[in-house]
Structures are given as structure tokens and as C-alpha cells.
């Protein structure tokens, strides 16, 4: 069992609706030493890639993305949730359905911060159905930049995002892959 799986077993709480609550170390209170360990692990797994930028989505991916970007020595960019489609055309826009809130958000990245010659490592805290990753990939594609890989802290393997992303040919690296979780007993198993 790796460091993140151990922490999930210790402090993760299984909620109804296939939601894992990790707000004591990742999503609300943050264990920075753990997040730095996650950053180092992604660096190790993608060290052969010519990464020029780390991209995530606000807000819960930001801390992890900072840590990964520090390891690579490159900037971190986060897609911002936006209330309106950008009118001046200065940003790339994607629609992302939130897994937890079940609502659609527009997310934007300024065209200044994603360029055609960028090699982008996309990271996020969770992977469920893959909507967030799909939105981030479409922002990179709109910029005609290159997706170098996808780094996920916690993949819920019983939802189909991971399957879809690997099928599309991306290198997807998840530090913890949950095989099953039981909201009645709280039991969590890993792949
Ligand atoms: P997806 O877009 O892959 O369906 O869901 C991923 C996004 O939803 C992540 O950005 C994450 O913030 C959120 N999310 C999905 N499942 C969970 C979960 O079980 N727990 C928490 N805390 N966030 C989740």
C-alpha cells in the first residue's frame, strides 16, 4: 500500500453517492507534506516528458498542481470557473459538469497562458467520470498545445473516467485507485 492509500484508509470518509470525503488532508484542511509527496511522485512518473506547464481546475486541484509545478520548475495554470462566456475572445472556454455539485460550469484559461508550443501535464485531485479532465484536455487542444499526461491523486476505478482516458491513449497516472467503497461499512479497497 502506498502513502496516499494509507492516508485514505486512515482519514477518508465514504459518503453517499460514491463520494469520498478527504477534507481533513486534501480538500479543505491540507496536509502540505502529503501534497509535496504527491508532487514528487508525479515528477517521478512523468520525468521523461518535456513538461512546460502544469494545468488544473479550480479549486481543489490547485495545491497539488503547485507542488507538481515546483518539481518540474515550470508555471502552474488553473482553469477558472466563469459565469459568462468570455466576450472578448481572449480566453479558451470549456464546459465541465461538476461531479459533486451536479451542475455545469464554464471554465476558462487566458490565451496568454496556454500556447501552441506548450507541453502540458494536467493534474487533479479526483477522477470520477472524467468530465473535469475532458474539459481541461479540450482547453489544451484549443490552444493547439500538447497533452503530455494526466496525473490524478485519487481515481475512483469503479467510475468510467479512467477507462475512457486510457482508451483515448493518454498516459494516466493515478496514485491511488479505489476499486470499491461501501458507504454502509465505510470499507475501501484499492486496485
Ligand atoms: P469527474 O469530472 O471526473 O466526474 O470528477 C472529478 C472532479 O469532481 C474533481 O475535480 C473533484 O474535485 C470532484 N470529485 C469527483 N469525485 C469526488 C469524490 O469522491 N470526492 C471529492 N472530494 N471530490 C470528487
SS (H, E, C) the chain: CCHHHHHHHHHCEEECCCEEECCCCCCCCCCHHHHHHHHHHHHHHHCCCCCCEEEEECCCCHHHHHHHHHHHCCCEEEEEEECCCCCCCCEEEEEEECCCCCCEEEEEEEHHHCCCCCEEEEEEEEECCCHHHHHHHHHHHHCCCEEEEEEEEEEECCCCHHHHHHHCCCCEEEEEEEEEECCCCCCEEEC
pTM over 0.95: yes
CATH of 3-190, one of 3.40.50.2020, 2.120.10.80, 1.20.1050.90, 3.30.870.10: 3.40.50.2020
In this prediction, residue 84 carries a pLDDT of 73
Q: Looking at residues 137-165, what average pLDDT do you find?
A: 98
Please enumerate in sequence order all residues whose Cβ is within 8 A of that of 37, keeping only pairs 6 or more positions apart, or say none.
Answer: 3, 4
Q: How far is the CA of 53 from the centre of ligand 1 (A)?
A: 22
Q: At 118, is the pLDDT very low, low, confident or very high (cuts 50, 70, 90)?
A: very high
The protein residue with its alpha carbon nearest to ligand 1, atom 19, reads: 19
For the segment 87-97, the average pLDDT, to the nearest whole number, is 88
Centre of ligand 1 to C-alpha 88, Å, is 31
Residue 51's pLDDT is what?
Answer: 98
- The finding on whether 27 has its CB within 6 A of some atom of ligand 1 is yes
- pLDDT tens per residue across span 13-30: 999 999 999 999 999 999
Closest approach atom of ligand 1 to CA 161: 3
Q: Is the pLDDT of residue 31 over 80?
A: yes
Residue 42 has pLDDT above 90, yes or no: yes
Q: 43 in ligand 1 pocket by Cβ < 6 Å? A: no
How much is the average pLDDT of 149-155? 98
- Mean pLDDT, the chain, as a whole number? 96
pLDDT of residue 86: 66
Verify whether ligand 1 is closer than 6 Å to residue 19 (CB atom): yes
Calculate mean pLDDT across residues 70-87. Answer: 89
Question: How much of the chain exceeds pLDDT 70, in percent?
Answer: 99
Please tell me the predicted confidence (pLDDT) of residue 154: 98
Instruction: Tell me what the mean pLDDT of segment 126-148 comes to.
Output: 98
Amino acid at each position: 500500500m502506498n502513502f496516499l492509500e494509507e492516508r485514505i484508509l486512515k482519514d477518508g470518509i465514504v459518503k453517499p453517492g460514491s463520494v469520498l470525503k478527504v477534507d481533513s488532508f486534501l480538500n479543505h484542511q491540507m496536509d502540505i507534506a502529503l501534497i509535496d509527496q504527491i508532487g514528487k511522485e508525479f515528477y517521478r512518473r512523468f520525468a521523461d516528458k518535456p513538461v512546460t506547464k502544469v494545468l488544473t481546475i479550480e479549486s481543489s486541484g490547485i495545491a497539488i498542481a503547485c507542488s507538481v509545478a515546483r518539481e518540474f520548475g515550470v508555471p502552474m495554470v488553473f482553469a477558472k470557473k466563469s459565469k459568462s462566456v468570455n466576450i472578448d475572445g481572449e480566453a479558451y472556454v470549456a464546459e465541465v459538469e461538476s461531479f459533486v455539485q451536479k451542475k455545469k460550469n464554464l471554465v476558462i484559461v487566458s490565451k496568454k497562458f496556454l500556447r501552441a508550443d506548450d507541453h502540458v501535464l494536467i493534474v487533479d485531485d479526483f477522477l470520477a467520470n472524467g468530465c473535469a479532465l475532458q474539459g481541461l484536455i479540450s482547453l489544451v487542444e484549443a490552444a493547439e498545445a500538447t497533452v503530455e499526461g494526466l496525473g490524478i491523486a485519487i481515481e475512483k476505478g469503479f467510475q468510467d473516467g479512467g477507462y475512457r482516458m486510457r482508451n483515448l491513449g493518454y498516459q494516466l497516472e493515478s496514485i491511488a485507485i479505489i476499486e470499491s467503497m461501501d458507504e454502509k461499512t465505510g470499507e475501501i479497497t484499492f486496485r
